[in-house]
Structure 1
Amino acid sequence: MTTETLWRNAIPILAGTLLLAGCSDDKPTKAEKVAAASVPGAPHGAAADEVAKVAPASNVTETNDLIEFVYAYPKEAAQIPELAKALDDDRAVKREALVAAAQRDKDAAEKGGFPYRAHSHRQIWQRVTSTPRFLSLSAEIDAYAGGAHGNPAFDTLIWDRNRRKQMKALDLFKSGEAFDAAIRDSFCAGIKRAKAAKGITADEAPDSVFAKCPPASAQTVWLGSSDGRFLDRMTIAIGPYEVGPYAEGSYKINVPVTGALVKAVKDEFARDFLPVN
Structure 2
Amino acid sequence: MQPSLAGAAPAVAVDLRDVIETTPDYIIGISYPQVAAHYPPLAQAVHDYAEAARQQLMQATARLHGTKPAAPYDLSLQFSSVVETPRVVVVAAEGSSYTGGAHGRPLLERFVWLPQMQQMLAAEQLIPDAANWKPVSDFVRERLLTGLSQQLDADTAEADDRGQRLQNGSRKIDAGTAPEAANFSRFEPVMNADGSIRALRFVFPPEQVGTYADGKKVVEVPASVLVPLVAPAYRPLFRAG
- 1:212 maps to which of 174, 193, 197: 174
1:162 maps to 116
Structure 1, unaligned runs of 5 or more? 1-44
Q: Does 1:240 align with 2:206?
A: yes
C-alpha distance in 2, partners of 1:68/1:85?
A: 23
Q: Does 1:92 align with 2:51?
A: yes
Is the contact between residue 204 and residue 210 of structure 1 (CA under 8 Å) also seen in structure 2?
no
Is the contact between residue 77 and residue 84 of structure 1 (CA under 8 Å) also seen in structure 2?
yes
C-alpha distance in 1, partners of 2:203/2:33?
A: 20
2:93 maps to 139
- SS of 2:227's equivalent in the other structure is helix
CA shift for structure 1 position 173: 2.0
Change (3 A) 1:169 1:137: farther
AA in 2 matched with 1:231: I
AA in 2 matched with 1:77: A
CA shift for structure 1 position 147: 0.8
Change (3 A) 1:238 1:90: closer
Q: Does 1:253 align with 2:219?
A: yes
Query: TM-score scaled to structure 2, two decimals?
Result: 0.75
C-alpha distance in 2, partners of 1:192/1:93?
A: 34
Q: Does 1:189 align with 2:148?
A: no
RMSD (Å), alpha carbons: 3.2
- SS of 2:172's equivalent in the other structure is coil
Query: TM-score scaled to structure 1, two decimals?
Result: 0.66
C-alpha distance in 2, partners of 1:81/1:207?
A: 41
Q: 1:254-269 maps to which residues of 2 (within 5 A)? A: 254-258=220-224, 260-269=225-234
User: How many aligned positions are there?
Assistant: 218
- Structure number with higher relative contact order (C-alpha < 8 Å, ≥ 6 residues apart): 2
Structure 1 window deviating more from structure 2 (127-136 vs 86-95): it is: 86-95
Is the contact between residue 58 and residue 74 of structure 1 (CA under 8 Å) also seen in structure 2?
no
Structure 2, unaligned runs of 5 or more? 1-9, 156-161
